[in-house]
């Protein structure tokens, strides 16, 4: 059963960048202000709660993984099109089912003009949970440099669910602008829901997934300021030791500092704040001065069938 849980984890806790991916924008991007010698540091926290309900002859099991760390991008080269190359360093400490987890790895990375971060060349894996978290974080700003971000703007994208057979519909909405650490950040709420089928260790499974999140983006400097995301997954398996898997993943990322190259002329971002379009009663409501607390996904289940697992219980 432990082996089956290990194989099922990737399917059930994937809060990957594809889930929050943004389609192509409709406006010209301004020049990025990142310069060689700049160092951006982000604080990251991750929590994964997984419960596997055993079949009639097997016990149930729980798996808990959590931790915190930093991502650092030390920029050393910027091309004329805005592409930035950097040394990417991940430092992370946490636990996985009570056992300590420590990661300290560096690799070359590219911050593309579309806002997405890519690893350059091959690198060692940092573990399933952290890989999913990195994929999510590195894709959060994709498409934003060229998108019109007026308050109230909404767009929808249909995204694949990694290696699973299925898709998710993600809706993004700009709900306002607020000041964050002296930067003028656009506040974007995202919610999505989808269904998938996937074989886990030879056992067929069917599942549903819901996500919710709020991200903060500085359009003038084209950098991610922060984000809070939550994903909930339900998966039913047949002909396996596990009958049902429930998983909840929460990720939080915040810009801690942006140290500019010595001698670089830096114009501060304007901090004028527009009124937010989000009512305070909404679960993703904007909180002043910092990324919102982990949101609760808004989820409307599709029509159920006898083989579809129960809908995700929002708010739990």
- pLDDT tens-place string over residues 7-31: 455 445 444 434 444 444 444 445 6
The CA distance from 316 to 313, in Å, is 6
Place of tokens 């396996």: 240
What is the pLDDT, as a whole number, of residue 273?
Answer: 38
- 151: exposed, middle or buried (C-beta count within 10 Å: 0-12, 13-18, 19+)? middle
Task: Determine how many CB atoms are found less than 10 A away from the CB of residue 95.
Answer: 12
Give yes or no for residue 270 having a pLDDT over 50. Answer: no
Share of the chain above pLDDT 90, in %: 49
Give the chain's mean pLDDT: 77
Q: Which carries the bigger pLDDT value, residue 177 or residue 30?
A: 177
Question: And the tokens for 19?
Answer: 């889930």
pLDDT range class, residue 266, cuts 50, 70, 90:
low
- Under 8 Å between Cβ of 162 and 136: no
pTM metric for this prediction: 0.77
Beta-carbon-side half-sphere exposure of residue 156 (alpha carbons within 13 Å):
6
What is the pLDDT, as a whole number, of residue 162?
Answer: 64
Share of the chain above pLDDT 70, in %: 71
Q: Which carries the bigger pLDDT value, residue 21 or residue 296?
A: 21
What is the pLDDT, as a whole number, of residue 265?
Answer: 53
What is the pLDDT, as a whole number, of residue 252?
Answer: 96
Chain-centre distance for alpha carbon 39: 22
What is the pLDDT, as a whole number, of residue 278?
Answer: 32
What is the pLDDT, as a whole number, of residue 12?
Answer: 52
What is the pLDDT, as a whole number, of residue 41?
Answer: 97
Give yes or no for residue 118 having a pLDDT over 90. Answer: yes
Beta-carbon-side half-sphere exposure of residue 15 (alpha carbons within 13 Å):
31
What is the pLDDT, as a whole number, of residue 31?
Answer: 60
Find, among 224, 229, 242, 157, the residue nearest to 189 by Cα: 229
What is the pLDDT, as a whole number, of residue 43?
Answer: 97
Give yes or no for residue 172 having a pLDDT over 90. Answer: yes
- pLDDT tens-place string over residues 76-94: 999 999 899 999 999 999 9
């Amino acid at each position: 059963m432990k082996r089956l849980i290990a194989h099922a984890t990737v399917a059930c806790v994937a809060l990957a960048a594809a889930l929050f991916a943004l389609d192509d924008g409709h406006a010209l991007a301004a020049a990025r202000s990142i310069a060689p010698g700049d160092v951006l540091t982000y604080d990251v926290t991750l929590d994964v709660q997984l419960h596997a309900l055993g079949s009639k002859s097997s016990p149930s099991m729980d798996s808990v993984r959590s931790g915190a760390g930093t991502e650092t991008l030390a920029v050393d080269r910027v091309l004329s099109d805005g592409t930035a190359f950097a040394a990417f360093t991940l430092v992370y400490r946490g636990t996985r089912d009570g056992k300590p987890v420590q990661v300290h790895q560096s690799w070359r990375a590219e911050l593309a003009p579309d806002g997405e971060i890519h690893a350059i060349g091959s690198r060692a894996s940092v573990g399933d949970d952290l890989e999913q978290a990195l994929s999510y974080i590195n894709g959060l700003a994709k498409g934003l440099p060229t998108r019109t971000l007026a308050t109230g703007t909404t767009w929808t994208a249909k995204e694949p669910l990694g290696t699973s057979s299925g898709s998710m519909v993600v809706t993004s909405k700009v709900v306002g602008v607020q000041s964050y650490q002296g930067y003028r950040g656009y506040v974007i709420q995202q919610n999505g829901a989808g269904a998938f089928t996937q074989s886990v260790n030879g056992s067929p499974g069917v599942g549903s997934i819901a996500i919710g999140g709020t991200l903060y983006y500085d359009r003038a400097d084209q950098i991610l300021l922060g984000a809070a995301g939550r994903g909930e997954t339900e998966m039913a398996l047949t002909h396996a030791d596990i009958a049902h898997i429930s998983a909840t993943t929460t990720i939080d990322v915040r810009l801690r500092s942006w140290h500019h190259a010595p001698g670089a002329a830096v114009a501060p971002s304007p901090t004028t704040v527009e009124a937010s379009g989000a009512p305070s009663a909404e679960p993703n409501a904007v909180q002043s001065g910092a990324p919102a607390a982990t949101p609760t996904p808004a989820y409307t289940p599709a029509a159920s069938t006898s083989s579809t697992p129960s809908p995700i219980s929002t708010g739990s």
